[in-house]
């Protein structure tokens, strides 16, 4: 495990560094990308570097990590919407370089999971899985309890995730209760897993993730099993961790 400790202000650049290094090593890298607030600044910094000609992202392939079930595609709050605004549109990633969940209807959810896993296989696996850390230790919507072999699947949101995502939905009552997520199993098969963590509100769960026992109660604790594992965390998240 490699821990990259940053100041609060250098965090986004450090996240962009992980992405840029992956793309430099393999211009058609297959990137599994989280949404949520943590990686957004890193995505923007990557977009800036691409605009400045420092990174060539014309061949990257992008895989969606997770999605709410039953949300129309054009809803800004869908996780696809986040990905579209922050990565796909600015980096001009077209449909044939994108693997995403299509789960506007709950009836489609299981088939969409199978399609996504098949797609990852056809792409030759993930070069990088860039993940945020949930306040309950989830990655993607791998909610606790979750073992290291968990497949890509339909998952009911944990109450902690409903609470934490309420800020994006205008209240807990509006947060969708069902999600799909790439499983911890396929995540651990990635050639490189990077966990990005920011802020003192994540300090306790980060400590458990890095130093606590491997446990289904903290799904991120299994990330230590990855072939290559990098944790990018700012000093607020790491202090005391
Ligand atoms: P955040 O979400 O980056 O918005 O804190 C992380 C997560 O819940 O996975």
pLDDT in tens, 132-162: 999 999 999 999 999 999 999 999 999 999 9
Listed in sequence order, the residues at least 6 apart from 170 whose beta carbon sits closer than 8 Å to its beta carbon are: none
pLDDT recorded at residue 44: 98
Q: Which atom of ligand 1 is nearest to the CA of 161?
A: 8
Ligand 1: residues with CB < 6 A are: 36-38, 132-134, 138, 164
pLDDT recorded at residue 240: 59
pLDDT averaged over 10-residue windows placed end to end, the chain, 241 residues? 97 98 98 97 98 98 97 90 96 97 94 96 98 97 98 96 93 96 98 98 98 98 98 93 49
Q: Which sign, positive or negative, has the C-alpha torsion 203, 81, 56, 186? A: positive
Q: How far is Cα 13 from Cα 41, in angstroms, rounded to an integer?
A: 8
Q: Which of 64, 133, 187 to mutate to test the pocket of ligand 1 (most atoms within 8 A of CB)?
A: 133
Sequence length of the chain is 241
Q: Which of 38, 41, 201 to mutate to test the pocket of ligand 1 (most atoms within 8 A of CB)?
A: 38
pLDDT in tens, 24-50: 999 999 999 999 999 999 999 999 999
Protein residue with its CA nearest to atom 7 in ligand 1:
134
pLDDT recorded at residue 74: 86
Q: Which atom of ligand 1 is nearest to the CA of 196?
A: 3
pLDDT recorded at residue 238: 96
Centroid of ligand 1 to alpha carbon of 135 (angstroms) = 7
Residues with a catalytic annotation lie at 66, 136, 138, 143
């Amino acid at each position: 495990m490699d821990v990259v400790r940053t100041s609060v202000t250098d965090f986004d650049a450090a996240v962009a560094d992980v992405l840029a290094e992956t793309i430099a090593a393999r211009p058609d890298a297959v990137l599994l990308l989280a949404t949520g607030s943590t990686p957004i600044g890193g995505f923007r910094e990557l977009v800036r570097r691409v605009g400045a000609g420092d990174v060539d992202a014309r061949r990257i392939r992008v895989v969606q990590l997770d999605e709410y079930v039953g949300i129309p595609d054009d809803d800004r709050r869908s996780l696809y919407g986040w990905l579209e605004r922050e990565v796909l549109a600015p980096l001009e990633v077209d449909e044939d370089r994108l693997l995403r969940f299509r789960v506007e209807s709950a009836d489609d959810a299981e088939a969409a999971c199978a399609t996504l896993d098949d797609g990852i296989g056809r792409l030759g696996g993930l070069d990088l899985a860039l993940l945020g850390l949930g306040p309950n230790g989830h990655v993607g919507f791998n909610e606790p309890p979750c073992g290291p072999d968990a497949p890509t699947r339909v998952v009911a949101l944990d109450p902690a995730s409903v609470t934490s995502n309420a800020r994006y939905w205008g209240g807990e009552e509006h947060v969708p209760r069902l999600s799909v997520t790439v499983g911890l199993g396929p995540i651990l098969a990635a050639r490189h897993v990077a966990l990005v963590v920011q802020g003192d509100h994540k300090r306790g769960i980060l400590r458990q993730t890095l130093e606590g026992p491997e446990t289904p109660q903290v799904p991120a604790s299994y990330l230590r099993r990855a072939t290559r594992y990098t944790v990018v965390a700012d000093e607020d998240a790491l202090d005391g961790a």
